[in-house]
Structure formats: C-alpha cells, structure tokens
Amino acid sequence: MIPELPRLAGVEHRHVPVRGVRIHVAEAGEGEPVILQHGWPQAWWCWRDVIPALAQHYRVIAPDLRGHGWSECPRSGYEKESLAQDLIALLDALGLERVRLVGHDWGAFCGFLACLRAPERFDRFVALSIPHPWTQPSLRRLPNFAYQALLASPFLGAFVLRNVPAFLQTMFRVGAARPIDAESRELYVALMRDPEHARAAVALYRTFLLREARPLLAGAYRGRRLVVPTRLIGGDRDPVMSPEAMTGFEDNADDMTAEAIAGAGHFLPEEVPELVVRRVLEFFR
C-alpha cells in the first residue's frame, strides 16, 4: 500500500486519464501554465518548496510520472520517448496549447524529448540535473552509474527497493550536497516499498540500459535541433552531471545556456529551492 498523499497549502489534486493511464496531478495558482516534472526516485512532492513561490505568478501543474507517486503503475510505457508522449498527451487532456516547462532528472530528459517532438507546445524550458541528449559519455564517471545496473535487474532491483531502505537513503546522502529532510526521504522510500512502484522503477532503468543508452551515446539525437529556449542547470557536486554534460549542445540548440551551481548536488528542487525559483522566474518573465 502506498502512503497517504501529503498535503501542501493551496494545492489541489486530481487524476487525469493520459494514454490509458491515470496520472496524478497537483495544481496551484492561476495564470499562464507552468509544468513541473519530477525525476526518480521522487514524485510531485519534490517541488514542495518551489510550488508556493511559482504559484504567486503562474498556474503550476506538477504531475507524477506513470509508475511514480500517486499515478497509476502500468506494466509498460517507461521508454523515455513514451514518457515524453505522456507529457504532450497531458497537455491535450488539460486543454493546454502551450506551456512553460521545468524538469528534473528523468523528468528533464523527457522534457528535452518532448521539446524536440513538439516544440510548438513549449514556450520555454528549464532542465535540472540531467545530461542533455547530445552528451558524450564520461568514462571516468561510469562507476557513478553502477546503481542503474542494480535497479535494472528484474528480480534484484525490485527486491532492494522494497526491502533495503538504506539503498535509497544512501542515494540521497551521496547525491545531495545539502541535506533533504528526513520526512521527505522516508516518503520516497515508502513509495518504493510498493511492489508496483518498484516494478516501474526497474522498467524505467531496464528500458534505458537495454534499449536506449547505446543509441543515445551513438548520437541518436545528433540530427535533431532544439528550438525551444532552454536553460540547463546542474550542481557542481552532482555525481550524475559531469562537466561534459554541460557542454556540447551548441550545434543542436538555437537558444540554450548552461549553469553549474556551486556547492549543490543532484536534487536541486529540494537542496536549493529558492535558487531554482529565482532562475525560473528570471527566465520565464
């Protein structure tokens, strides 16, 4: 059983049918729409310190990806292009023609893919803590991604997520340069104790390692051009974001810049929410 939905003042919740899946959506504020798309192993709750500030200026919409948070957990559809299609279909379901987008981790990578697929739907895009689609591999950082092989294992990955809470707690401790509160960490751990959420996490990484990583590193997106104005932001102490991940996009993007945040790790919305809000407002206004 998944934990009870946490409450945040001013936020309303509903489920929206998207491509046959019930997607949970948290909403706050009024005005032009801004989508906040989380990464793994989190949920919409990772934006808890970002939503109130942005909701003073925008209609903020924070969905849970399929298989995450309080969304439905189908057995398929965890390819990153499929998750990008979920995002575009969510805009259709909500009647939104064009939005501003902020993504973190896998939510940001799928945001890149959605902007490449349907640029007319996105006014501006802020990508947090994720290599862009044209990144070249950094061999010296390969050991930092060993956890993905464990997660992708069809039996071991789900077993660890459900029965070894220290695994996720260690990921948060290593990945965050600034501490994330214990209650939120425990919420994410509790979600992964659910067998359907654990299975979805395995599928997320298994599809990446077995079907997506090799084409990506071989240049699958080299011929695709990003026309949506984009800002890429990463922490300089993020074990996932190498310095190479912040460069190499210049030939594939019309208007994209990158910034490394000193003293920050991987979980920017939870480590430095005030800075995230500031950068988003500066770029979106």
Where would I find the H helices in 4-79?
A: 51-54
Q: What pLDDT is recorded for position 139?
A: 57
CA R_g for the chain = 17
Please give the chain's pLDDT, 285 residues, in tens. Answer: 899 999 999 999 999 999 999 999 999 999 999 999 999 999 999 999 999 999 999 999 999 999 999 999 999 999 999 999 999 999 999 999 999 999 999 999 999 999 999 999 999 999 999 999 998 766 566 666 788 999 999 899 999 999 999 999 999 999 999 999 999 999 999 999 999 999 999 999 999 999 999 999 899 999 999 999 999 999 999 998 887 789 999 999 999 999 999 999 999 999 999 999 999 999 998
Q: What pLDDT is recorded for position 143?
A: 65
Per DSSP, the chain holds a count of helices (H) and strands (E) of 11, 8
Closest CA to 100 of 61, 133, 140: 61
Q: What pLDDT is recorded for position 240?
A: 85
List, in order of start, the domains of the chain with CATH numbers. 12-134+222-284 (3.40.50.1820)
What letter does residue 223 receive in the DSSP assignment?
T
Closest CA to 205 of 105, 71, 133, 89: 105
Contact between 130 and 240 under an 8 Å Cβ cutoff? The reply is yes
CA-to-CA separations, 103 to 125, 154, 211, 234, in angstroms, rounded: 8, 27, 23, 12
Q: What pLDDT is recorded for position 106?
A: 98
Contact between 211 and 79 under an 8 Å Cβ cutoff? The reply is yes
Taking phi over 0 as left and psi of -120 to 50 as alpha, with beta for the rest, 238 belongs to beta
Q: What pLDDT is recorded for position 199?
A: 97
Give residues with Cβ within 8 angstroms of 280, minimum separation 6. 34, 50, 54, 102, 126
Element (H, E) at 150: helix 146-152
- DSSP-assigned beta bridge partners for residue 100: 34, 124
